[in-house]
Amino acid sequence: MRLPRILTPSTIAQAHCDLPCGVYDPAQARIEAESVKAIIEKYHANEDPAFRTRAILIKEQRAELVKHHLWVLWTDYFKPNHFEKYPELHQLFNEATKLAGASGAKGALDAAVAEQLLGKIDEIAKIFWETKAA
């Protein structure tokens, strides 16, 4: 039996977990980005084709997690007043997610790109902790 239309939710909420907990931390993105960089370094240090294939797969998964954690901060934690106070914040998130994505660390095997990603995450984290202290 189908629910009557009146009982069907008109709005569906999304959160980084099943319950909007209010727990946010850029460390989640940083840990995954550190993993991406370490995997790239291990990839270059190993000639085994099977290892390299696994490394690429895992690196791409971790890079996707970086993007996820950044998006959660960008869309769920930061509010309009934060973007007013820190006008560079949108650009930082845009650059960081691109560095994590297909045109960045997810699609490349360049440790320098992963290092740039870590730098962007650090810039976002600095602002994040300033907003938490306010």
Q: CATH code at 113?
A: 1.20.120.400
- For the chain of 134 residues, list the mean pLDDT of each consecutive stretch of 10: 60 53 89 98 98 98 97 95 97 98 95 98 98 89
pTM of this prediction? 0.84
Q: Is residue 33 part of a domain?
A: yes
Calpha distance 125→99 (Å, rounded): 16
Q: Is residue 127 part of a domain?
A: yes
* Number of separate domains in the chain: 1
Q: Which domain holds residue 40?
A: 26-133
Q: Is residue 18 part of a domain?
A: no
Q: Is residue 3 part of a domain?
A: no
Calpha distance 105→82 (Å, rounded): 28
3-state helix, strand, coil in the chain (%, to 5): 70, 0, 30
